[in-house]
Amino acid sequence: MSSRQSKMQVYGVEGYLPTIGIECHVQLKTDTKLFAPVAVGNFRADAANQHLTPLCLGLPGALPVINRKAVDLAICAGLALDCGIASVTSFDRKHYFYPDLPLGYQISQHYQPLVLAGEIIIPLPDGGQKAVGIHHAHLEADAGKLTHPKGRDYSLLDLNRVGVPLLEIVSQPDMHSPTEAQLYAKEIYLRMIYAGVCEGDLSAGHLRFDVNVSVSDREDVLGTRTEIKNLNSFRFIHQAVTYEIDRQIKLHRGGESVVQETRGWDEQGKSTFAQRSKEDAQDYRYMPDPDLPPLQITEAHVDSLKKSLNVSPPAVRDLLKGWRITASSIEIMLEEWSVLVPVIYENRQTLDGPRAVVLVNWLLGDLLAALKQSRLTQKDIVATWSELLVLAQAVLDDKVSATGGKKWLMEIVQDKKTVARLLQAAGGGQISDVATLQPLVDRVFDQHPGAVEDARVDSKAIGFLVGKVMQDSRGRANPSLVNDLIKRKLAGS
């Protein structure tokens, strides 16, 4: 955005400026719950109400004890978001009644959150960048899960989720389009995955996005916002924000006002629907939890966690950009190869530009296709990484053609064959020495004088001669070298 353009000029929709802020709940990758020594378990596989303690049930006398691992993961998440970490942090009770919250309040952080303000920079598809402020992020315990079976007069309650550690990341209202909202959500996802703080299975609800949307016909005044709850796909975020902007503008146009409320997302209908009117912070009667002492976080502890962090997406982008990988390919690499990318980054010294480009092309092509069809896993690639380097080098050295090298990928990754053996089996691989190829070229010239004459007047006719040499070498000749030799012979040198 040029400084002379107003936000309205850049983002305006029919004279209205949309503004979007996002709260994201990240499920931290711990074995046990946030305040109780009981397994988090697997929500999809486990029977209901298996992982409970008196605290999860809100029984009298049960006391919470903080899970150190959850605090460390939250600090790592904060560092991955380029945010500050509080030196003192404390827990508060957020009061509300809900049948899946036996305590009657959620243990959260209101006054002294663990993760302080920061800013993340998001690459845009057009090559630009977008800065989004992080207001803060806080630790809190998840609630249980209610299901309402269709056509029945009862609801089912599963409390396995009660007390599972969440980090709620609250953005500033810095986004102004569905695309910016979607890209922000994806960036949060990537940062959490690379920091190793979250399993990152969106369909299992490991990251849930609450998206606040408002529109205003003035840049300096925010409109009334609505909150779309629990979106768990980047596509849904784009669709829901688009729908909500449109709905709110129609209300304004019709002289009606937007109601501050929580709305749900209807996947089938591709629309949002009213759920409940939205509380303000003061309604929750936040109070410090007397059962949990404040935590002191030392700088030394934060530093040691910082050192343990994997590479971050921005550092990966810088590295791959240096290898002249395109921006869109970099984003695919980050998303699809999140296990492998840190390995590539660690071994960046052993990779030079050309070899890296060959490898990345395989990863974005045949290997990605195989990964998506579950014919291989990222771990297979990690295990055979050094052999892939050898193969890339063989291609660059013309020991095997680019097409031939590609054909060997799966044999190396899946069948654990070595490049040396594959070259041997192929009869020594590609022929790239002039001494062997020149006689083949000479013979083709002798056998096809007509084609030689054609090639002299029309350079496109060279293909026939190249094809003949390739045939005579049973496909082993290096085609670009053959091409060169033919051109040189045609030029009479």
Applying CB under 5 A, the residues found at the interface with Mn ion are 168
Taking the complex as a whole, the smallest distance from the CB of residue 215 to Mn ion amounts, in Å, to 25
| Residue with Cβ nearer Mn ion (227 or 387) | 227
Closest to Mn ion by CB, 168 or 180: 168
Closer to Mn ion by Cβ: residue 137 or 367: 137
Cβ 257 to Mn ion, closest distance in Å?
27
Nearer to Mn ion, 168 or 289 (CB): 168
Q: How far is the CB of 108 from Mn ion (least distance, A)?
A: 6
34 or 485: whose CB is closer to Mn ion?
Answer: 34
Q: Identify which of residues 89 and 216 has a Cβ nearer to Mn ion in the complex.
A: 89
Classify each residue of 82-97 as buried b or exposed e, where b means 16 or more C-beta atoms within 10 Å of its C-beta.
Answer: ebebbeebbbbbbeee
Chain center to CA of 456? 54
Shortest distance in whole angstroms from residue 170 CB to Mn ion = 9
Give the shortest CB-92-to-Mn ion separation in angstroms: 12
Cβ density class 35-64: b for 16+ within 10 Å, e for less? bbebebbebeeeeeeebbbebbeeeeebeb
Q: How far is the CB of 107 from Mn ion (least distance, A)?
A: 11
Give the pair of three-digit tokens for residue 455. 């090639």
CB closer to Mn ion, 168 vs 380:
168
CB of 329 to Mn ion, least distance (A): 36
Give one DSSP letter per residue of 272-297, joined into a string. EEEEEEPPPGGGG--EE-TTS--EE-
CB 212 → Mn ion: shortest distance, Å? 13
Q: How far is the CB of 274 from Mn ion (least distance, A)?
A: 20
Q: How far is CA 99 from CA 163, 263, 482, in A?
A: 14, 20, 76
Q: β-strands 261-266, 226-231: how paired?
A: parallel
Checking DSSP bridges between strand 92-95 and strand 287-288, what pairing results, if any? antiparallel
> Which residue number is nearest to Mn ion in terms of Cβ?
168
Listed in sequence order, the residues at least 6 apart from 346 whose beta carbon sits closer than 8 Å to its beta carbon are 311
Q: Single out the residue of 409, 429, 431 nearest to residue 420, CA to CA.
A: 429
How far, in Å, CA of 221 to CA of 211, rounded? 19
Q: Using an 8 Å Cβ cutoff, are 40 and 32 in contact?
A: yes
CA distances from 262 to 232, 278, 286 (A): 16, 6, 20
CA nearest to 390, candidates 374, 413, 372: 413
CB of 31 to Mn ion, least distance (A): 22
Please report how the helices 385-396 and 402-413 are oriented relative to each other, as an axis angle in degrees rounded to 10: 170
Nearest CB to Mn ion, comparing residues 30 and 177: 30
Where on the phi/psi map is residue 196: left (φ > 0), alpha (ψ -120 to 50), or beta? left
> Closest separation between CB of residue 25 and Mn ion, Å?
6
Q: Shortest Cβ distance from residue 166 to Mn ion (Å)?
A: 7
Kindly tell me which of 230 and 418 has the beta carbon lying closer to Mn ion.
Answer: 230
For Mn ion, give the closer residue by CB, 168 or 387. Answer: 168
Quote the DSSP letter at residue 47: P
Query: How far is residue 79's CA from residue 74's CA, in Å, rounded to a whole number?
Result: 9
Q: How many CB atoms lie within 10 A of CB 111?
A: 13
In contact, 60 and 70? CB cutoff 8 Å: no
Q: Extract the tokens encoding 235.
A: 């596509």
Distances in Å between the Cα of 374 and the Cα atoms of 62, 364, 367, 433 are 46, 15, 10, 40
Question: Which C-beta is closer to Mn ion: that of 168 or that of 174?
Answer: 168
Strand order in the sheet with 105-108: 105-108, 92-95, 287-288
CB of 333 to Mn ion, least distance (A): 32
Q: What is the dihedral of CA 69, 47, 377, 316, to 10 degrees?
A: -30
